[in-house]
Each structure stands twice: as structure tokens, then as C-alpha cells.
């Protein structure tokens, strides 16, 4: 492929490391890939990977933000599961200790103990 297009593994790694992939970056990659191929972005190629990772990041930010706006004593295990699911999609696996979803899970566990 064209030297200006990063490999999709590099794009995934960037997302896992926490660097946001912007819509502009995804669009620029799609344009470059279209120019290189002469017919459009390749399914599963760099542009598609960038768009997918951007969407996953945005979903995680939205879900985590939604939960963060709740009063801490109203965070539920369902909230924690939703944040973990979104974070897992970005990371490509289970989030580690100290992650956002781990923190939300800890708050939800404390709330469940108080209600028991």
C-alpha cells in the first residue's frame, strides 16, 4: 500500500494507548486510500480501521461521560458493565486494573454494598 498510509495495527495501537483518532484523521485516511486504490477505501484497510476505532472511542467517551454525570451514589453495576463493554471494544480486550471501567466498577460495588 502507499507509504503515507499507516498500517492498521499502528492505528489500533494508537487507540489502545489512549490517543484519540479524530474524524478528520479517519476522513483523510479514506481520501488517501481512495487516491491510492483508485476506487475507494478498502474493507478492513487503514481507513476502515481508523473509522472503526474513532467510533469505538467516541462510544466509550459518551458512555463514560454519561455515567460520570450521575451522582456517585447512583452508579449501578449495569452502568459499570456498559462502561466496561465500551472500553473493552476500544482496547480489544478486558480493561486492566486502574482503568476507567475498573474505577466505575469499584463505585458500583460500594453502592451495592450500601443497598444490601
Contact assessment for residue 53 and residue 11, using Cβ atoms and an 8 Å cutoff: yes
pLDDT at residue 24, as a whole number: 97
In whole angstroms, what is the distance from residue 100 CA to residue 85 CA? 11
Max Cα separation, the chain? Answer: 62
pLDDT at 2: 46
Whether the full predicted model's pTM is greater than 0.85, yes or no, is yes
The per-residue pLDDT for range 74-105, each reduced to its tens digit, is 999 999 999 999 999 999 999 999 999 999 99
Q: What is the pLDDT along the chain (116 residues), one digit of tens a residue?
A: 445 799 999 999 999 999 999 999 999 999 999 999 898 889 999 999 999 999 999 999 999 999 999 999 999 999 999 999 999 999 999 999 999 999 999 999 999 999 87
Tell me, what's the pLDDT at 116? 78
DSSP 3-state of 17: coil
Amino acid at each position: 500500500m502507499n507509504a503515507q498510509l499507516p498500517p492498521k495495527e499502528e492505528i489500533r495501537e494508537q487507540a489502545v494507548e489512549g490517543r484519540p483518532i479524530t474524524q478528520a484523521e479517519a476522513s483523510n485516511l479514506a481520501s488517501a486510500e481512495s487516491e491510492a486504490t483508485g476506487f475507494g477505501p478498502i474493507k478492513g484497510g487503514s481507513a476502515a480501521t481508523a473509522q472503526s476505532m474513532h467510533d469505538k472511542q467516541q462510544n466509550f467517551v459518551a458512555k463514560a461521560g454519561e455515567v460520570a454525570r450521575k451522582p456517585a451514589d447512583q452508579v449501578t453495576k449495569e452502568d459499570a458493565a456498559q462502561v466496561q463493554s465500551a472500553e473493552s471494544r476500544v482496547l480489544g480486550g478486558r480493561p486492566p486494573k486502574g482503568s476507567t471501567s475498573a474505577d466505575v466498577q469499584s463505585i458500583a460495588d460500594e453502592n451495592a454494598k450500601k443497598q444490601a
